[in-house]
Structure 1
Amino acid sequence: MKRVFVIMMVFVFSLFLFQTVFAIGEKEAEKEIKVGTLMAHTGPLKEYGPAIKNGAVLAAEQLTDAGLTVKMVHEDSETAPIAGVDAARKLVNIDRVVAIIGALSSGVTLAVAEAVTIPNEVILISPASTNPMMTDLPADRGKDFLFRTCPSDALQGAVAGKAAAEMVKTASVMYVNNAYGQGLSEVFKAAFEKSGGKVFAMVPHDEKAAESYTAELRKALKGDPDVLAAYSYPEHAKVYLKEAVEFFNYKSFLYSDGTKSLEIIEALGADIVEGQFGTAPGTLGGKPLDLFNAAYTREFGEAPPLPFITNAYDGMAVLGLAAYAAIQKGLEPTSENIRDQLRKVANPPGVVIMPGEFEKAFDLLEKGRSINYEGAAGSVDFDENGDVVTPIEIFKYTNGGIETVRQVSP
C-alpha cells in the first residue's frame, strides 16, 4: 500500500512538474513574433536594400535582448511589383509572419498591400514608400493594416518645388514611371510653378534599368532648363546623369530620396556633383537619432550611409512594442492585436521611449503604464491613415559624400 502511495505521489508530482514547465514554455512562446522584411536586394533599388534591412535587424536584436523574441524572414522584392507580391505571399502564407516591413518602391508596396497583406489582414509598414496614394488607399479603408514610417511625397515634393524655385527659374524632370516617380514629380511641378518657376518637360522612363536614356534626355533637356530633377532610382540615374554630362554637356541636377546615392557620386565623379542639392525624408535629430547612430555603428561598423535606415528601425521598434503591449493585456500577438496597439505605443501621451530603450518600455508596459515611442527618424505618431509627419531634409553632395544642409518641418 505504501509503495502504491509513493508511486501515486511521484506520478502526481511529475504531472504537476510537466504542467508547470509546459505553462512556462507556453508563456515564453507568447513573447515571440515572426516578422518579414521585403527589401530591394536586386533591381534598380538594390543599393538601398541591405542597409535598410539592417535598420530593422538592429531593432529586432535589441527587442530580443530586452525580452521579446523577434524572428525575422528576409525576402527580395527585386524592385518589381510581381516579384514583390510573390515574395509577400510566401511570407504570409508559408512563413506566417504577423507583419512585413517593406517594401521600398511605392509601386511594389501598393501592389503587395492590395493583393496580399490587406486581404490576409497582415500588417504592412513601409519605411520608404512615399507615394501620396498610400494615405487613403481604397483597399485599406476600414481595415487599417497599411502604415508607413516615412512622410508622403505630398510633403517632399512641396519642399523640393519651393526650394528649387528659390535657386532657379526653369526645370525639367526625368522620373521613373511608377507610383513613386509619378507622385513626386506631379507634386514638385505644382509647387515649383506655384512658386514662380516653369517646368519645361516631364519625361518618364521605364522602371526596368536600361543601358541608355539619350532619347529621354533629348526631350528633357530641350529648351536648356536651369536644372534637371532626377526622380528615379540609383540604377537609372547613374546612367542618364552620366550621359547628360558626357553627351549633352549638361551638369545641373536636382536630386531626391531615390537619387541620394553613393553610387551616383562614383558614377559621375565627386567634382561633377559637388554642391548640388536634393531632398529626402529627414529626421528631427537630437538624442533619439544619436542613440540609433551609435548602436548602428557598433553593430555594422559604419554610420548609416543611406536614407530610410532609421525608418526601418522605427517600423520594427513600434511593431515590437505593440506586440509586447498586446501580450501584457493577455492577448495573442496576432496581426490584428498588434495593429490595435500600434498607435497606443507610438503616439502620445505616455512615457517617452527612445531607440534601444526597450527594457524600460517593457517594464512600463508590465506595470500598466502608457508609453510614447520617439523614433530615430522622428516622432512615429500614426494618424488615422497610418501616415506620419517627419521633417524633409535638404542635402547636398560635397567632398565626395552627402551632407545635410537643413531640415524643413511641414
Structure 2
Amino acid sequence: MKTMTFATAATLLATTAMADVNIGNPMGMTGPIPDLVAPMAAAVDLAAQNINDQGGMFADGQAFNVVRADSACDPVAAVDAVTKLINVNGVSAIVGPVCSGAAIAQAESVSIPAGVVTLSVSASSPAITTMEDGTDLVFRATASDAYQGVALAELAIAQGMTELAVSYANDDYNAAIAAVFVEAYEGMGGTVTANEAHEPNKASYRSEVATIGASSENLALFSYYGSGGITLMRNALETGAFTNFIGADGMLSDEVIEQIGAENLGTTTFTTAASDSSTPAYAAWQAIADAAEVPASDPFVPNSYDATFMMALAIEHAGSADREAIAASLRAISSAPGEIILPGQWAEAKAILAAGGDINYEGGAGNQDFDENGDVAGNFSKSTVVDGAWAAELIQ
C-alpha cells in the first residue's frame, strides 16, 4: 500500500512539473479603447512567443501560455473576467488589466484576496499606489498619473495656456489624472476657469460644453475617446466653445483624427507614457516588434511586452508557478544587482538563472525597477497632428 502511495505521489509530482505555465491576461478588447488595446494584446502574445521559441519555462521546457479574457475597461466585467481566470482557469498570475477602474476593482475583489500577483500593463491611476495594506501583490509597468498629470500641467504652461477649463469623465482613471493636473497647474500659476465632470457614453455633451465653454478658449479634456471624448470634442468645435485642446492618453487614437478631422486638430496636444528610443533596451524591443509587425512605439505597447516578459522571468526565477513566490521574484528580476537582460533575451536569462545568477531586466518601455508600492518611474511624450497623423515627441 505504501509503495502504491509513493508511486502515485511521484506520478503526480511529475505531472505537475510538466504542466504548462498559465498566466491570465484580462485586456479591454471591447469597451472604450479597443483600437489602443489591440496592439497591446499583440505585444503580450509576442512576448509569449519569444519565450516559447527560446526553450519555454524551466528545465523541462513547459509552454508559457497567455489565457486572455475581456475586461472591457469596466470594473464589473474585470471582476468577472479575473474571477474566472483565477478560480476556473487556475492561472498563476495576472498581466493586465488595461484601465485603472478595472485594475482596482479586480485587485480589491479578486486577486488580492486570492493571493495572486497583478502586473498591470497600463493602469496609471494614483489610487493604485496606496491601495494595498499589508500585501505586495499589485504592480504596474507604467508610471503613475501622479507624474503624467504634472508633466501635462507643465506642458500647458509652456504652451501659454495661462487659463483653461477642465472636463473629465466620471471614472477612476480620468477623474484621478484630472485632479493631479488641476493641483499641479494651479500650483504653477495657471487659472482653472471651470472644472466639471461629464458622464461617459452620452449622445451629446452640448449642455456640458455650454456650461464651461464661456470661460476660456482652452480645454483640458480627460476622457476615453470611445466613451464620450470624441463627441465632447466635436460638440465643442461645432459650437465654437473651445479651439485649443490638451489631454492625456485616453484620447490618443487614430479614431480621433478620423472622426474630428486632422484639419481641426492643429492646436491639440495629448500626452502618454513613452519610451526613450535612444536606449539599447528600446533598440532591442524595436527590432523584435518590427520583425513581428507590432507597432513598437504605440501607447503602452512596449509596456505590455515588458510586463509579460517580466512575469515569465519572475516565475522562472521562483522555480515554479507557485503563486506565493512570484511577487518577491518579480522584484528580484527587475532591479540591480544582476546581469542586464533586454527584450527578447529569454535564453540568456534562463541560462543565468539556471546557474544561480542574478538578472536585471531593462525594458523597451524603460527602467522597470519597482518601488515599495509596485510603481515604476517613466517617460512621457506629447503628440500632435502632423501631416494627418499623430507625431510623438519625448518630453525631456
Relative to the length of structure 2, the TM-score reads: 0.91
Cα deviation, 1:317-352, whole Å, max 9, x if unaligned, reads: 11000111111xxxx321221212011100111110
- The partner residue of 1:352 within 312, 317, 340 is 340
Instruction: Structure 2 unaligned segments of length 5 or more: list them.
Output: 1-7, 58-62
Code of the aligned partner of 1:160: L
Give the match's secondary structure for 2:367.
coil
The alignment status of 1:232 with 2:217, answered yes or no, reads: no
Cα deviation, 1:297-334, whole Å, max 9, x if unaligned, reads: 322x352463111111111111000111111xxxx321
Who is 1:188 aligned against? 181
Instruction: Structure 1 unaligned segments of length 5 or more: list them.
Output: 1-17
Code of the aligned partner of 1:394: K
Code of the aligned partner of 1:45: I
Who is 1:107 aligned against? 101
- The partner residue of 1:124 within 98, 105, 118 is 118
> Within 2, Cα distance between the matches of 1:406 and 1:200?
29
Cα deviation, 1:276-314, whole Å, max 9, x if unaligned, reads: 322111213222222222322322x35246311111111
Quote the offset at 1:21 in angstroms: 9.9
Who is 2:4 aligned against? none
- The partner residue of 1:219 within 211, 215, 220 is 211
Please tell me whether the aligned partners of residues 169 and 226 of structure 1 are also in contact (alpha carbons under 8 angstroms): no
Please tell me whether the aligned partners of residues 281 and 362 of structure 2 are also in contact (alpha carbons under 8 angstroms): yes
Who is 2:233 aligned against? 241
Who is 1:205 aligned against? 198
Higher CA-based Rg? 1
What is the aligned residue count? 380
Relative to the length of structure 1, the TM-score reads: 0.88
The alignment status of 1:63 with 2:51, answered yes or no, reads: yes
> Within 1, Cα distance between the matches of 2:331 and 2:259?
42
> Within 2, Cα distance between the matches of 1:47 and 1:213?
23
Which moved further from structure 2: 72-81 or 351-360?
72-81
Who is 2:306 aligned against? 314
Cα deviation, 1:22-60, whole Å, max 9, x if unaligned, reads: 98765443xx41011111122212222222111111111
Who is 1:326 aligned against? 318
> Within 2, Cα distance between the matches of 1:54 and 1:35?
15
Code of the aligned partner of 2:196: V
- The partner residue of 1:173 within 148, 166, 189 is 166
Code of the aligned partner of 2:144: S
Please tell me whether the aligned partners of residues 214 and 241 of structure 2 are also in contact (alpha carbons under 8 angstroms): no
- The partner residue of 1:391 within 350, 372, 379 is 379
Who is 1:85 aligned against? 79
Who is 2:28 aligned against? 40
1:359-370 correspondence to structure 2 within 5 Å: 359-370=347-358
Quote the offset at 1:20 in angstroms: 11
Cα deviation, 1:142-185, whole Å, max 9, x if unaligned, reads: 21111111111110001111110122111111111111111111
> Within 2, Cα distance between the matches of 1:210 and 1:119?
35
Which moved further from structure 2: 389-398 or 351-360?
389-398
> Within 1, Cα distance between the matches of 2:13 and 2:27?
37
> Within 2, Cα distance between the matches of 1:155 and 1:129?
13
> Within 1, Cα distance between the matches of 2:212 and 2:341?
47
Please tell me whether the aligned partners of residues 284 and 390 of structure 1 are also in contact (alpha carbons under 8 angstroms): no
CA RMSD of aligned residues (A): 2.0
Quote the offset at 1:19 in angstroms: 11
Code of the aligned partner of 1:276: T
